[in-house]
Amino acid sequence: MKKALLLFIGIIAVTIGLSFLFTSLTEVKKEAASEQREWVIESAMTLEAFGQANNLPNPLLKEIFTLTAKQDLQKTIASLGLTDKEVIQKIKQATALEGERVTKNWMKIRIKFAGWLIFITVMATRLRKGRITAKNRIWLYALSVLVFGIILGSDPSPMGTVKDAVVLYGSEGVIFRPRMIAFIVFTVLVILANKSICAWGCQLGVLQDLIFRLGRDKQDQTGVLPQIKLPFALTNTLRVLFFIALTAGAFLWAMDLVHPIDPFRVFNPATITLAGGLFLLILLTTSLFIYRPGCHLFCPFGLTGWLAEKISLLNIRVDYDKCIGCEACSKACPSNVMDAILKQDRVRPDCFSCGTCIEVCPVGAVRFGAGKRQKVPAGKFAKPEKETGGKK
């Protein structure tokens, strides 16, 4: 227990220290701050004069009002056939999108996506071959945190593709296309290989998983710290309620409820607020006792990914002709998902394809692969009736 706690403190210290180092060495642009402006607008103004009065460059004006020639900048505001409110709304939407573009390090984003695709392909291959073990799992998680979190930063992330899209559309009424492309890519990865992006690529999800493993024994089968498997009905209900609150905040009050406490800031420590630091400490400490609490309790992509996971081509499967009913897989599983997969008697929770169930099965009945899932044989896991005094 003492060793687990010391390793926990060490991992957090190293993650924050190295993240601070890498972000300070890389040119980081500040997030675009939303500001309330007094717009200078008169119907007789030309578009060029309007841009000069409001500090809007001509290329942005051309994009906003779909101008085709330089002389179009001499058109008046009145000639657009728009009310002042509609003109200002167009400007606000365009500046919001421009703010999104200029705060992105596009080179790092391209490298990150290429790295994700390579790493996830390798992990899916290793899972299919049963080569994810207690000995190498924790090092693979550490590698993922180092590359996709510490070195390549907090953005982008699976959670951000949903959270930021909802907030931007709710508050400004616009869609940032690169983010939607990222969401589609992540969802396709879920469909292909069972939430693989969350399992092995999401920097915060993997950090939580890494911390959880610190509280397990050397065989990664049971906790040396008290580890709780929360009911899926509870965790998914809370996750749905959080998504509703996030959406309501964006559409009703133009608020990002996550922004002040965004836990992905652990990979950009200079931006952590007091409230964010407290939330982060609670989340990571809880990760010692509950498997991936952030993923199960409030991650918006965790919710959409769980839905897409239902049609995954590659996922955990059980060969009931080999299965001896020992339930070692469900006991070693860090959540309730393997018990649901094994017995097929309830809604399946999120599966993060960690490979624990495959490793612990004594007869090789659990695998990560494609094909139609076998139905559980009737009575396979029925509990035997107790005999008392020779009577059933």
Q: Any alpha helices (H) in 254-346, and if so which ranges?
A: 274-286, 293-297, 300-308, 328-332, 337-343
CA distances from 231 to 234, 238, 248, 297, 356 (A): 5, 11, 26, 11, 20
What does the domain layout of the chain look like in residue ranges?
A: 2-28+104-307, 315-369
Would the pLDDT of 75 be above 80? yes
Q: Residue 387: its pLDDT value, please?
A: 45
Q: Residue 31: its pLDDT value, please?
A: 47
Would the pLDDT of 59 be above 70? yes
Model pTM score = 0.90
**Are 318 and 368 within 8 A, CB to CB?**
no
Q: Is 357 helix (H, G, I), strand (E, B) or coil?
A: helix
CATH class of 315-369: alpha beta
Would the pLDDT of 250 be above 90? yes
Per-residue pLDDT tens over the stretch 196-232: 999 999 999 999 999 999 999 999 999 999 999 999 9
Kindly state the tokens that stand for 24: 């300070």
Which backbone phi and psi does 90 adopt, to 5 degrees?
A: -65, -40
